[in-house]
Amino acid sequence: MDRKRVAGPENAVAPLVEYPKDQLRWAPQQEHRHSSKRQPEDIRPIYLKTGLINQANGSAYIELERTKIACGVYGPRQKKASQLSSFSGKGTLNCEFKFATFSCQKRRHHIRDAQERELSQVLSQALAPAVRLELFPKSVVDVYVTVLENDGLAACLAAAITCASVALAHAGIEMLDLVAACSGSYMTVPRNALGQPQTDATTTAAGASRDEIWMDADLEEEKHEDGSIVLAYMPSLNQVTHVLQNGRAEGAVISQSVESCIEACNKIYAVMQHSLLESITNGKTQ
Amino acid sequence: MTSVMSAVVPGQRLGHVQEYIAGPGTYSHQDFLYASVVGLKQVTTADGDERPTLSVARENTQTAIPEIDAIVTCKVVRVNPKFASVNIMVVDGKPCTDNFQGIIRSQDVRATEKDKVKIYNSFRPGDIVRAQVISLGDARSYYLSTALNELGVIYGTSIAGGTLVPISWQEMQCTKTKVIEPRKCAKPM
Amino acid sequence: MARLDKSRTSSHQLRPFFTSQNLLNRADGSAQFDFGGTSVLCSVVGPAEVKIRDEKLDKATLEVLARPLVGVPGVKDKTIEQNIRETLEPLVLSGLHPRTLLQIVVQTMQDDGCVQSTAFNATMLALIDAGVPLNSILGSVTCMIDRKTNQVLLDPTREELAQAKSTHVFVFDNKAPPAQSKGDEDDVVMEDGDRVEGHVLFCESTGVFTEAEYFECYQVCYKGVQTVHGFLRTAVQKKFEKEHQQLQD
Amino acid sequence: MAPKNKKGQADAADESTSAPTLRVILPGDQLPPHEANLPTGQDEDAVSMMIDQRAPPTIKLGPGLTPMDDDTIISVKAGVLNHTDIGNRWWVESNQRRYVAAPGESVIGIVTGKTGEHYKMDIGTAQPALLPVLAFENATKKNRPNFNIGDLLYCRVAMANKDMEAELDCVNPTTGKSDGFGELKGGFAFKVSLGLARRLLDPRQAVVLRELGKHFPFETAVGMNGKVWINSASTAHTILIANAIKNSEFLSTAQCQSMVKKMVERI
Amino acid sequence: MTSVAATSSTFTFSAAAFQRLHPAEYFRKFVSQGVRPDGRLLSGFRPTTVHKSVVSTANGSSMVRVGGTTVVCGIKAEVAEPTLEAQDKGYIVPNVELSPMCSSAFKAGPPSEQAQVVSDAIDRILKDSDVVDLEQLCIEKGRAVWALWADVVCISYDGNILDAALLAVMTALTNVRLRKPTYDEGVVTVSGEALTEENSFSLTLTRTPLSTTFAIFDTPNNTLLADPNSAEENVSLGRITVTLDEKNQLCGVHKVGSGSCSPALIKSCIERAKERTQELRSLLA
């Protein structure tokens, strides 16, 4: 029982969802990609804006269609007592990743769970190489990310990295480069029964299906994936800061996915640049 | 001579190390200079330098953090016979969003007769003090000093609640009750 | 008008009071206050050492902990804690004890309605018992409006509160109201032509009610609080008389 | 500017006339201006100072009374209003359990810690008080008394203000003599209310100590901080004395005498 | 913006530094001129926007911005057992999250006192003012009812969280779409097909109370600041919140903190709250 919140019923569960038999659910063979006319290499359109949290030193908000994430950056500020292990000549980057309770299909809990803790760590590992921590000894920069709506977990993590990196730059924290991130899903797309064979460049030996990499997969597509990759990348320095790969894929597919992610990150970088430069001009007019 | 050029973002390549000197808001990596903050690219040419300095003026200023030799404005939080604890609120005229902790040890209060300093006759909780950062200190606090004429208490409240005005470098008077209280005062600049 | 609570005959009648001070040996001050079947025990510790996190450099830190009748404290108790703390903060001359802690624990002993008002009164007595410097004293009563009869009932019991369409907790202090400095501030006049009196220190009204009903409750409670103030004074007087017996022989 | 509601004030006046020997006032009650002999329209400074010789007739406010911005004087404590014509002094005598250090007061403290230069002493205040290791008779850097945690010391408050920990000493700074301050060896210490401690220190009011003294010899030290130390020939006596002192707080002289008598008879 | 003469005895500071060192003094200088540092008049409210259906994973949602304060409310429906006392009534559970993301005033970890008190205030308004007839949430009497978790996440905190959060909860409640459930031997099933008028329903609200908060800046003058922002909350000593429904019936009057208020002052707050909530209702429609 959480006594610091308004108490609700215990053992509340989501109702069982029953799909009518005559109505087929989306599957990779039905149409190419879920609910959009995207090509495998296409990412969703990005809306990225800085400065929505006026109490924070820096902030950013990102939207990729349904995926919605807000990020606030505080610092550099004095380390809290719990973070005071010893004198350190370098600053600390502290990231906290949280899903809003209503952001996923199943209701999430208020208290941070293991998955959120893990994602916090990934976020921190992906961003830290880009931040010039040696310039603020004894201090900490706190990065807080809240997911308001999650439409694909890997895509969500990638968007969070992108968003947090823009928020850091917005806070005036010295960085080596921005960090753009993108996700890709390994899909096994069956050959269409009705026979509309698509380009056969990637057709596998089995002949019945093809392996494809779908960039920035949404939740429905993610349900059918064999695995996924999230790659964080510093575009101007051409350096990768983090790769998170899971599931099953051939080595060649993985190296191809890295290429595709880097390509997508370069597109995202343009959006990031644009939103930051926009913040300068907006700041000027105010 | 300074010329303002285009707006840049972190990571943007600004020029070659052989052409420019890296100024604030930039860093050099291999043979090139890059921006490390969001802002406007500036090229400053000073006489005598063989190369112009390239810098990026921050648009979204990072919050101020104390650095060695910086002049800070702080509020006294508590005092004990050895030192006064303070919250650093302003660094070089720029407010910091969150407080940083600092201490003024009794030997750093003034330049002369250091062993006769009584903290309680120099600072009281609530005083606003101008001080200089002398070291990054220990894990928790920055070490500060007021051992210069223009450093010390710049604003204080008397026991009766009135505003204090300095009458000498070690005394202040309450405007309400005319009671004199000891302080290490800062000389107005 | 008859009340559900059979011991009372009038809708504006308070239940019998009871208090006891200096009950707890280890606290710096303590008091119990009862409104009929509702009883609250309050203890005060301080000025005591404060955690650095909560330290205030120019005044004492007030901490109020509300403990319910049964079970662990929840968000409802947090609201009571905040209400009591924010009402007391301007009353306590906390500037006399900077960087110290004044801890107030409010424990409900019996609940028959109006716990928050009882808690306010118990806290007041406990602070006096602890000798905490105060610039005035406060008193609190609760009233409700009956869903069916629309009648204002002062100091309702739990049974009566079940029929309430709204409940109103009021706190008034014993200071003379400040002279009106803003010139002709319009007085609030009730339907019967009476001017609404008293300056409210705290009020919490919930439910659904009209403006006229609100000010009627305001007035009824203001008058009720005067009785509470008189009672608090007698209680303190008695305590000191007992203490000074030796002196008078 | 006259306050419209003088209810609180009127109550205080009414009750004081019915019981002339004991005027109990509550926080927020005003000191009636005519009684305080306050000239009307007096300038604020004269009132806001505790002592001011400039504008006769002056009034001296002791503990529990404070002047307000509008020249009225209010009580900030509940207690008995006292007045003496000598110097037109007014104060409120109240009773509390928590000690707030004041310079010059004698207290009993417990050693709770030790640093190179100070002992940390628990005297019942919010923060521990500091006792310099050199603040003893004949103490030098080489020859200084050594105490352990838990030892009891009878000391005097040398410095106290709201901004710092109180400072204690066990030596008269002018004479360099101990004046009876120092370690309390053996015996038994317990806590009473500050009001009772004050009464125990007043020979006219310490009925219980006088009565006990008639029956057997004992040593006692009373601190203004509500700590009482006693030592006698036997443990039984010590316990009896402690209980008798604690019991005496709310008793009249007659009751106190019979209480002591009964307790002595029982052993 | 006009700059303040920021002097402290003979030392001069920039306005920003002066505000940092003497926030109350800084503020008093503005208030004495009848304006606030953000340019508003003392009685002025901040621009307010309301958006509905912002989160598709929730059954009802809203985003409310009141000046610099931004909150998102998402309502998720789950199935639970009713209580023994109210066998045909469902649950609405409001909770406000003030995370360290929205302001440096909040720490990570369990909800702060402020978050708890705001959550409780919304809970009480929902219950005591009968906002929703909870029988609408009954699935099978005594067996299964809907539990609506109304969680409010504060994205950006700049004061007056109660007014913003209550507006967000009310908007999200009007926006809730629940699928018509079927109950069979302890299992509640809903259809997974696209949402239509036939397979889902909305809630009927008895009333929609909205609140208006004023901060009491100084005493005894009792200067009132409508819709205080974060800096104003920090220098204020007390507050008055008036909650009204669409028929201008009161659903709450809460005065707490310093400053004893005359009946006339409370009345003037009620009058101004009437105007303000009227404006807010046009956003809700």
The pLDDT tens digits for A41-91 are 889 999 999 999 999 999 999 999 899 999 999 989 888 766 666 556 788
Q: Is D22 helix (H, G, I), strand (E, B) or coil?
A: coil
Å between E24 CA and nearest CA of chain B: 14
> Nearest C-alpha of chain B: how many angstroms from D146?
22
Host H or E run for residue D46: helix D44-48
| One domain, residues B105 and B173 | yes
Instruction: Say how many domains are in chain B.
Output: 2
Q: What is the pLDDT of residue B151?
A: 93
* pLDDT confidence bin for A240, thresholds 50/70/90: very high
Tokens (6 digits) for E200: 């889902």
Residue B187 lies in a domain: no
Give me the mean pLDDT over the A153-178 stretch. 95
Check: CATH 3.30.230.70 for A46-191+204-285?
A: yes
pLDDT of residue D57: 63
In this prediction, residue A27 has a pLDDT band, given cuts at 50, 70 and 90, of confident
A to E CB pairs, distance under 8 Å: 160
Q: Which residues does chain D have within 8 Å of residue B176's beta carbon, measured at their own beta carbons?
A: 45, 48
Q: Looking at the structure, do residues B49 and B108 belong to the same domain, yes or no? A: no
Average pLDDT over residues D77-106: 87
Interchain contact E/C (3 or more Cβ pairs less than 8 Å): yes
- Domains of chain D (ranges; CATH) run 7-93 (2.40.50.100), 106-183 (2.40.50.140), 188-266 (3.30.1370.10)
Give the torsion sign (CA, C46, C49, C53, C56). Answer: positive
E strand map for chain C: 17-21, 29-35, 38-48, 61-67, 101-110, 138-146, 152-154, 164-173, 200-209
Q: What is the pLDDT along chain E (285 residues), one digit of tens a residue?
A: 333 333 444 567 788 888 888 898 899 999 989 899 999 999 999 999 999 999 999 999 999 999 999 999 999 999 999 999 999 999 999 999 999 999 999 998 899 999 999 999 999 999 999 999 999 999 999 999 999 999 999 999 999 999 999 999 999 999 999 999 999 888 888 888 778 888 899 999 999 999 999 999 886 778 899 999 999 999 998 999 999 999 999 999 999 998 888 999 999 999 999 999 999 999 987
| D15 vs C96, C131, C237: nearest CB | C237
Q: Give residues 111 to 150 of A whose Cβ lies within 8 Å of E.
A: 142, 144-146, 148-150
Please report the pLDDT score of residue C108 as a whole number.
Answer: 96
pTM for this entry: 0.91
D250 or B186, higher pLDDT: B186
Within 8 A of A273 by CB-CB distance, chain B residues are 9, 12
User: Which of E10, E16, E21 lies at the smallest CB-CB distance from B188?
Assistant: E10
Return the residue of C nearest to D3 by Cα: C176
Q: Where are the domains of chain C?
A: 17-179+188-248
Question: Is residue B118 assigned to a domain?
Answer: yes
Does an interface of 3+ CB pairs under 8 Å exist between A and C?
yes
Residues D132, D109: Cα–Cα separation, whole Å: 13
Q: What is the pLDDT of residue A190?
A: 76
What's the gap in Å between the CA of A261 and the closest CA on chain E?
27
**Opening angle at CA B85, ends B84 and B89, nearest 5:** 125
Answer yes or no: do B130 and B39 share one domain. Answer: no
Phi, psi (5° rounding) for residue D7? -55, -55
Least confident of A207-216, C88-97, C207-216, D148-157: A207-216
Chosen from A3, A5, A80, A84 to mutate, greatest number of chain C CBs within 10 A: A3
Domain assignment present for residue B168? The answer is yes
CATH H-level, domain C17-179+188-248: superfamily: GHMP Kinase, N-terminal domain (3.30.230.70)
- B51 — pLDDT class (breaks 50, 70, 90): confident
Determine the average pLDDT of the residues in B73-101. Answer: 90
Does D5 score more than 60 pLDDT? no
What is the per-residue pLDDT for D253? 85
Which residue in chain B has the smallest CA separation from C57? B77
pLDDT category of residue D49 using cuts at 50, 70 and 90: very low
| Token duo for residue E246 | 């669409």
Residue D4 forms beta bridges with which residues? none
**Is B78 among the domain residues?**
yes
What is the pLDDT, as a whole number, of residue A197?
47
Give the confidence band of B61 by pLDDT, cuts at 50, 70, 90. low
Beta bridge partners of C20: C32
Residue A210 has pLDDT above 80, yes or no: no
Mean predicted confidence (pLDDT) in D158-169: 88
| D220-232 average pLDDT score | 93
Domain range annotation of chain E? 61-202
CB contact under 8 A, A145 and E147: no
- CATH, range E61-202: 3.30.230.70
Domain ranges, ordered by start, for chain A: 46-191+204-285
CATH number for the domain harbouring residue B175:
2.40.50.140
Cβ neighbours of residue E152 closer than 8 Å, sequence gap 6 or more: E71, E72, E73, E94, E95, E96, E97, E122, E165, E168, E169
Put simply, whether D28 touches C (Cβ < 8 Å) is yes
In which element (H, E) is residue D208 found? Answer: helix D207-215
Of A176, A173, A158, A131, nearest in space to A62 by CA = A158
Residue B141 sits in the same domain as residue B118? yes
Residues B86 and B144 reside in one and the same domain? yes
B64, part of any domain: no
Q: What CATH number did the domain enclosing B13 receive? A: 2.40.50.100
Distance CA E159, CA E161 (A): 6
pLDDT tens, position by position, for chain C (249 residues)? 568 877 888 899 999 999 998 889 889 999 999 999 999 999 999 889 999 888 888 889 999 999 999 999 999 999 999 999 999 999 999 888 888 999 999 999 999 999 999 999 999 999 999 999 998 999 999 999 999 999 999 999 999 999 999 999 999 998 766 555 444 456 777 777 778 888 999 999 999 999 999 999 999 999 999 999 999 999 999 888 877 765 544
Domain of residue B110, residue span: 71-182
Average of per-residue pLDDT across D82-92: 84
For the stretch D111-137, pLDDT in tens is 999 988 889 999 999 889 999 998 888
Q: Are residues B165 and B77 in the same domain?
A: yes
The model's confidence at residue A34, banded by pLDDT at 50, 70 and 90, is confident
Both B80 and B165 in one domain: the answer is yes
Alpha carbon of B93: minimum distance to chain C alpha carbons (Å): 23
As a whole number, mean pLDDT of residues B138-145 equals 88
Same domain, B152 and B175: yes
